Structure 1
Amino acid sequence: MAAAAAMEFSVTINQKEVVVAALPLQEHRLPLSNLDLLLPHLDVGVFFCYKKPCRRNGLAFVSMARTLKNSLAQILVSFYAFAGEVVMGSVGEPELLCNNRGVDFMEAYADVELRELQLYNPDASVEGKLVPKKKDGVLCIQVTELTCGAVIVACTFDHRIADAYSGNMFLVAWAEMAQSKTISLHPSFRRSLLNPRRPGSCEVSLDDMYVPLSTLPPPSSNGATTADPIMSRIYYVTAENITRLQALASSKGCRRSKLESLGAYLWQIVAKSETDRAKRCKMGVVVDGRTRLCDENKSMANYFGNVLSIPFGEERVEELVNKPLSWVADAIHKYVHVATSKEHFLGLIDWVEAHRPEPAVVKIYCNGSEEGSAFVLSSGQRFPVGKVDFGWGRPVFGSYHFPWGGDCGYVMPMPSASREGDWVVYIHLLKGQIQVLEEEAGDVFMPLTADCLGLHGETPEFSNQTSLEAKDELKIAMMLDLLL
């Protein structure tokens, strides 16, 4: 009954204002880079949950909100892109108008306790309640006080302006500013770092990864997307299960990464949701190009914007279901490898230039359910959940929230704030795929609960037992030095 009541809580917006940069800004237009132009108009949400500040801090909610607003105004001087708005340029392409329009900032109250929130189901507990819907500008923020005194800080930003790396950079800098610390990384908006080459050169394989919007068929009107709705869930995966997956995904002395291992396991599960074994199932992986584009003369470490590529592979459902996990992980490694070079990203920039001003998009985004299942895996291992401390302590939980439309799923694993080595996994998949996931892998993907976050006491000891493998297989893997 308490859980049901928590799902029905109400949120009241008590105050709304626009926070502008503390210093005046010369109005100008900042063009989007060719890599920005590959992103459709999507908004990304992120939120952090904080326990009620301990008494010695003596912070009331009104004081916390004031700290957030004052530090936001200061940090927007450097991160001025978040205080602008997207407008259409002369050739019909989006541009960023840096006019210090400001950030919509809302103060709210929710009649629910933090431990009662069903964070496992963010569609009901987070979407539109604790993570705000952005109406104007590039960024909006909502800070919400709960009945127990806990606080949730949430942001929604335009993906065309910033990727997760850029968003993380802002969040850390904002927290540092709130505590009057030195800003560890100031943003760079040097679009010249991503200029196309003259003459351009790109691999033919990019035509298999990206597609001009004009070449896409019209959206299906047969109601297929409503037959199996897409939904979001958040799961908790322990370090022990991640390690075991990595052991199973590695073979012949070839060690696969934890992300590849988790991705391979999910790919098999998504394939199992298909009733037609003759279909093909696709999986994409988000690759950050910053380290690939760096050299001795230029650094991309503080570049603000999108520097992403999404290579994807497709395999027959029957093979994904019946082959060992190591075979699936090898397939992932093979298709991701093509996007891990400097030449790939330079070629992608040139590919976009060759098609401008016509908009284009990554092909896997446009997957239809009739073509077979598809999802994209994005690494959130740089998610700074332990660094977003505004002065009243580290968050007990944080997660991105990215319920994009269409039939293509989205998965982001992030580090847990509760226990080192554990992951929090945000999953946005079709209802049927979620059901198979929970039936087939419920011992690995545990629904996120207050117990997982230690909100009912100390963080629990998770069982080391799992159906992933027998104990003798684990011993063999350890002998082969496949585990971290």
Structure 2
Amino acid sequence: MDSSDFTVSMKRRDVVAAVLPVPEQVLPMSNLDLLLPPLDFGIFLCYKKSSNKTGQNPSPESMVTVIKKALAQALVPFYPFAGEIVQNHRGEPELLCSNAGVDFVHAYADTELTELDLYHPDVSVHGKLVPVKLRGVLSVQVTELNCGGLVIGCSFDHRASDAHSANMFLTTWAEISQDKPTTHIPFFRRSLFDPRCPPQHDESIDKMYVLLSSIPPPPKEIEVSNDHLLSRIYYIKAEEIDRLQFQASENRAKRSKIESFSAFLWKTIAEGGDDLSKGVKLGVIVDGRKRLEGREEKNLSLQNYFGNVLSIPYTQVSVGELKSMTLKMAADLVHSCVETAATEEHFSGLIDWVELHRPKPAIVKVYCTDANDEAAIVVSSGQHFPVTKLNFGCGIPSFGSYHFPWGGQTGYVMPVPSVRENGDWVVYMHLMKKHLDLIETKAFDVFRPFDSSHLKLAVDD
């Protein structure tokens, strides 16, 4: 049987609300939230059959009960996840914290953990193990596997939460499942992101973001590409990441691993371009929490702020220029790009820029591809993904990854740490098929298709 050809059947569907009463209230979106279009992102975690030191093996059914009960408790501090997004009188989205609840599906899949084709998540994960969210802000599915293992899949509305906020929630949910003290107490004080008076911003933000109304419609007669975006998951060994970082740094200013990786991916994709004049856009997501520490209030660390605190600076170079660059030269450009957004002034200016244009929706320009682009990709660093902390009582995951098939023409790449905690990476990639095939041809020594040998299945793996 094809490893992706398995059936998922629903055992039970529930709506899980916060276990304690939550006062109904409207939580406005911050100006940074308003930069997010209606997109859902997924996270899924795979667990082998549970066992504990006493020799008692909790059944999958009992684990699902524990997970569901803990979810109801976790929704008390993270009450926006039990709400819904509605439009206000200006046509802007806002969070209605109504405790309408989270769709929770208990399912069964007639496959083994080691048989899951995680290399092709479009056919093995999407809509099977990660639910397609139909309502609300969050949907959850817990799927029993033939082998006694479990998969926990979640879909989050990105307008309400970035990955940092989702990580806080997942960590809290797992801690509650084990009756442990919780690490994070989220707060939602939008006033921390109020614009200045008067609003002001650097012209660099006009080059990064654009109003949706100003994007010209595509021409009526346009060449339709047969290519399309696909998702694949790869495994990268720590020594390969270290090698890329060494080559990108060349004994001068040390480049980060994510900068070095991004530069390598950028150059590799350019290798497939025949038209040397076409551009290759690269965006890198920057979390502004550390950059906005000057806005923190007493006893409120932005590390516990729930919402979106993101910017996506991008750079663009022609295929010909990228082909002629060394990895170090490309990494220097990536570093300079990231530095443009790694300041308090940048995020303050971005907040002000949105204020000056409200209620007109805007979007980052790297999402807007045209005929002059060979490719456009966005890289997000998932190095703080707390995968080894996500023990719901059945051990740490054997695997964990994001799943974000966001559509459009711009690619998305999210590396996260391997569960093995040895410096290896798991890399989720959503790119054009021709670029994925190119990566596997030109960089097969770095990007290894994920298979069951990369799962952590034993304590000493």
Tell me the alpha carbon deviations over residues 232-279 of structure 1, each in whole angstroms, 9 at most, x when there is no partner. 110000100000000110135211110000000000011112221111
CA distance in structure 1 between the aligned counterparts of 2:94 and 2:224, rounded to whole angstroms: 32
1:295-306 equivalence runs, <5 A: 295=294, 297=297, 299-306=301-308
Q: 1:23 aligns with which of 8, 20, 43?
A: 20
Q: Report deviation, 1:26.
A: 1.2
CA distance in structure 1 between the aligned counterparts of 2:118 and 2:19, rounded to whole angstroms: 35
Give the conservation status (yes or no) of the 8 Å contact 1:42–1:160. Answer: yes
Residue matched to 1:203: 202
How many residues end up aligned between the 2 structures?
456
CA distance in structure 1 between the aligned counterparts of 2:336 and 2:265, rounded to whole angstroms: 17
Give the conservation status (yes or no) of the 8 Å contact 1:369–1:407. Answer: no
1:71-86 equivalence runs, <5 A: 71-86=70-85
Q: Report deviation, 1:226.
A: 4.8
Q: Report deviation, 1:218.
A: 1.6
Q: 1:375 aligns with which of 377, 385, 396?
A: 377
Q: CA RMSD in A?
A: 1.5
Q: 2:428 aligns with which of 418, 426, 429?
A: 426
Residue matched to 1:354: 356
Q: 1:45 aligns with which of 39, 42, 45?
A: 42
Q: Report deviation, 1:299.
A: 2.2
Moved more, 446-455 or 122-131: 446-455
Say yes or no: does 1:32 pair with 2:29.
yes
Are residues 419 and 291 of structure 1, via their aligned partners in 2, closer, same or farther at CA, if it must alter by over 3 Å?
A: closer
Are residues 113 and 153 of structure 1, via their aligned partners in 2, closer, same or farther at CA, if it must alter by over 3 Å?
A: same
Instruction: Among all aligned residue pairs of Structure 1 and Structure 2, give the percentage whose two residues are the same amino acid.
Output: 53
CA distance in structure 2 between the aligned counterparts of 1:269 and 1:391, rounded to whole angstroms: 42
Q: Report deviation, 1:369.
A: 5.3
CA distance in structure 1 between the aligned counterparts of 2:186 and 2:7, rounded to whole angstroms: 37
CA distance in structure 2 between the aligned counterparts of 1:223 and 1:11, rounded to whole angstroms: 40
Residue matched to 2:451: 449
Say yes or no: does 1:234 pair with 2:233.
yes
Give the conservation status (yes or no) of the 8 Å contact 2:285–2:380. Answer: yes
1:192 is matched by which residue type in structure 2? S
2:126 is matched by which residue type in structure 1? E
CA distance in structure 1 between the aligned counterparts of 2:223 and 2:125, rounded to whole angstroms: 26
What SS is found at the alignment partner of 1:18? strand
Q: Report deviation, 1:365.
A: 1.1
CA distance in structure 1 between the aligned counterparts of 2:378 and 2:219, rounded to whole angstroms: 21
Are residues 27 and 283 of structure 1, via their aligned partners in 2, closer, same or farther at CA, if it must alter by over 3 Å?
A: same
Give the conservation status (yes or no) of the 8 Å contact 1:115–1:456. Answer: no
Q: Structure 1 runs of 4+ off > 6 angstroms?
A: none
Give the conservation status (yes or no) of the 8 Å contact 2:315–2:337. Answer: yes
CA distance in structure 1 between the aligned counterparts of 2:158 and 2:223, rounded to whole angstroms: 27
TM-score w.r.t. the length of structure 1 is 0.92
Q: Report deviation, 1:229.
A: 1.0
Q: Report deviation, 1:225.
A: 5.9
CA distance in structure 2 between the aligned counterparts of 1:157 and 1:178, rounded to whole angstroms: 20
CA distance in structure 1 between the aligned counterparts of 2:257 and 2:235, rounded to whole angstroms: 15
Q: Report deviation, 1:368.
A: 3.2
Residue matched to 1:366: 368
Are residues 72 and 120 of structure 1, via their aligned partners in 2, closer, same or farther at CA, if it must alter by over 3 Å?
A: same
Q: Report deviation, 1:392.
A: 1.2
1:77 is matched by which residue type in structure 2? V
CA distance in structure 2 between the aligned counterparts of 1:185 and 1:441, rounded to whole angstroms: 40
CA distance in structure 1 between the aligned counterparts of 2:286 and 2:317, rounded to whole angstroms: 20
2:23 is matched by which residue type in structure 1? Q
Residue matched to 1:110: 109
Residue matched to 1:470: none
Residue matched to 1:473: none
Q: Report deviation, 1:57.
A: 3.8
CA distance in structure 2 between the aligned counterparts of 1:458 and 1:445, rounded to whole angstroms: 24
Residue matched to 1:409: 411
Give the conservation status (yes or no) of the 8 Å contact 1:450–1:456. Answer: no
Give the conservation status (yes or no) of the 8 Å contact 1:35–1:306. Answer: yes
Tell me the alpha carbon deviations over residues 393-446 of structure 1, each in whole angstroms, 9 at most, x when there is no partner. 000100000000111000011000024100001111001000110000111100
What SS is found at the alignment partner of 1:174? helix
TM-score w.r.t. the length of structure 2 is 0.96
Residue matched to 1:475: none
What SS is found at the alignment partner of 2:148? coil
Residue matched to 2:400: 398
Give the conservation status (yes or no) of the 8 Å contact 1:397–1:418. Answer: no
2:411 is matched by which residue type in structure 1? G
Give the conservation status (yes or no) of the 8 Å contact 1:57–1:392. Answer: no
Tell me the alpha carbon deviations over residues 178-218 of structure 1, each in whole angstroms, 9 at most, x when there is no partner. 11111101111100111111111100110000000000012
Are residues 202 and 105 of structure 1, via their aligned partners in 2, closer, same or farther at CA, if it must alter by over 3 Å?
A: same
1:208-227 equivalence runs, <5 A: 208-219=207-218, 226-227=225-226
Residue matched to 1:129: 128
Are residues 223 and 429 of structure 1, via their aligned partners in 2, closer, same or farther at CA, if it must alter by over 3 Å?
A: farther
Q: Report deviation, 1:386.
A: 0.2
Are residues 220 and 134 of structure 1, via their aligned partners in 2, closer, same or farther at CA, if it must alter by over 3 Å?
A: farther
Tell me the alpha carbon deviations over residues 143-201 of structure 1, each in whole angstroms, 9 at most, x when there is no partner. 00011111000100100000000000000000001111111011111001111111111
2:140 is matched by which residue type in structure 1? I
What SS is found at the alignment partner of 1:74? helix
1:124-203 equivalence runs, <5 A: 124-203=123-202
CA distance in structure 2 between the aligned counterparts of 1:238 and 1:306, rounded to whole angstroms: 31
Tell me the alpha carbon deviations over residues 326-373 of structure 1, each in whole angstroms, 9 at most, x when there is no partner. 000001111111100000000000000000000001111122354331
Residue matched to 1:292: 291
CA distance in structure 2 between the aligned counterparts of 1:226 and 1:171, rounded to whole angstroms: 39
What SS is found at the alignment partner of 1:451? helix
Q: Is there any run of 5+ residues in structure 2 with no aligned partner, and where? A: none
Moved more, 81-90 or 225-234: 225-234
2:10 is matched by which residue type in structure 1? I
Residue matched to 1:280: 279
CA distance in structure 2 between the aligned counterparts of 1:284 and 1:246, rounded to whole angstroms: 19
1:97 is matched by which residue type in structure 2? L
Q: Report deviation, 1:458.
A: 7.0
Give the conservation status (yes or no) of the 8 Å contact 1:52–1:148. Answer: yes
Give the conservation status (yes or no) of the 8 Å contact 2:281–2:373. Answer: no
CA distance in structure 2 between the aligned counterparts of 1:210 and 1:159, rounded to whole angstroms: 18
